[in-house]
Structure 1
Amino acid sequence: MKITQVILKDLPEILRVEQMGFNQAEAGTETQYRQRIDKLAETFLVARSDGQVAGFVVGPAVKEQFVEDWMYQDTPTNLVTGGNQIIFTIAVDPKFQGQHVGTQLLQAIESKAQTSQRKIIALTSLEKNLPFYLKNDFVNQGAAESTHAGETWFNLVKKLY
């Protein structure tokens, strides 16, 4: 497994993996992912196995402590240093689940966040996925204010410093 920064050529595979992991209301659109590739290349990492996209993680480095719904529609620009690493999405192709791809992606984004002196990594998660994040040392901060896709989301945080 090799983890690298995203390239535009990855877009079709990213959309394929996204649509397998999220329902239509939850999933990002092609337009959103083009914007994320353009604005967040440094914090958009792709796991590859034999050249195939096995999974990805993406999100901006911002001053805000938690994911906010507006960020999904208008992708923020990454801070150069400091702030907090937000994760919009982490998704793994079902063929690669159970092979620690998600954990490797979290470790890779954490390493980038530490290098850039981020304070925390924050994300929102559905209840069914909480055990994965808790196993990866995130702390559940309770229900998020998000109304994304009409779901109940939970704020999770991992302190870096």
Structure 2
Amino acid sequence: MNANHFIIKHASQEDIPALTAVERECFPAAEAASEEEIAARVHAYGKHFWLLFEGKKLIAFVDGMTTDQADLTDDMYEDASLHDENGAWQMIFGVNTIPSYRRQGHAGLLIRQAIEDARTQRRKGLVLTCKEALIHYYASFGFENEGISESVHGNVTWYQMRLTFPEK
């Protein structure tokens, strides 16, 4: 991966069609956010989207709201108004990379940027849910497995992972 060809930026209204297309390419219909949900998220917390472009092509993104709630709950996916810009925790709802760009370090680049931004913003840390097969991947960034989540999003078993920053 030649980092000179890639740009990371936050989301704006103009990015909604591309975000929707990538979301649909990355997740089954039962798990993918709709265009309306993505639009509401961008409107509420566009600064908490990390988009990776190769030239003008969106190839990957990470997104999630901030909140004082310590655990990621299903209602957060559906209700962007739950975002609290001063929230203690950065939630990660999706780590999306279009299939032809996977296993090249793109998602990791965005995850590290989200972690760094949350640290700079003085959050307590980040929380995400993932399928069992990805526990090891997220652990490589410092996330700890907290076990099976209460989430039933998409009728799938999810594991909650948390990265907590050391207190200063």
Tell me the TM-score normalised to structure 1 length.
Answer: 0.94
Report the equivalent of 1:89: 94
Shift of 1:77: 2.3
Match of 2:85?
79
The aligned residue for residue 39 of structure 2 is: 34
Matched, 1:127 2:124: no
- Corresponding residue of 2:111: 106
Structure 1: gaps of 5 or more residues: none
- My pick for the range that moved more, 129-138 or 62-71, is 129-138
Q: CA deviation at 1:79?
A: 2.4
Contact kept? 1:39, 1:78, Cα under 8 Å:
no
- Given that 2:128 and 2:161 are in contact with CA atoms closer than 8 Å, whether structure 1 keeps it comes out as yes
Paired residue type of 2:53: R
Aligned equivalents of 1:72, 1:11: Cα separation in 2: 16
Normalising by structure 2, report the TM-score. 0.91
The secondary structure found in structure 1 opposite 2:127 is strand
Quote the RMSD (CA, aligned, Å).
1.2
1:61 matched to which residue of 2? 66
Question: Structure 2 unaligned runs (5+)?
Answer: 1-5
By how many angstroms is 1:64 displaced? Answer: 0.9
Say yes or no: does 1:147 pair with 2:152. Answer: yes
- Give aligned-pair identity as a percent: 26
Deviation of 1:78 (Å): 3.0
- State the secondary structure of the residue aligned to 1:40: helix
* Mapped contact 1:84–1:118 kept (Cα < 8 A): yes
Cα distance in structure 2, aligned partners of 1:104 and 1:133: 13
Runs of at least 4 residues off by over 6 Å:
none
Structure 1 range deviating more: 116-125 or 1-10: 1-10
Structure 1 residue identity aligned to 2:115: E
Q: Is the 8 A contact 2:149 2:157 kept in 1?
A: yes
**Contact residue 68 and residue 84 of structure 2 kept, 8 A:** no
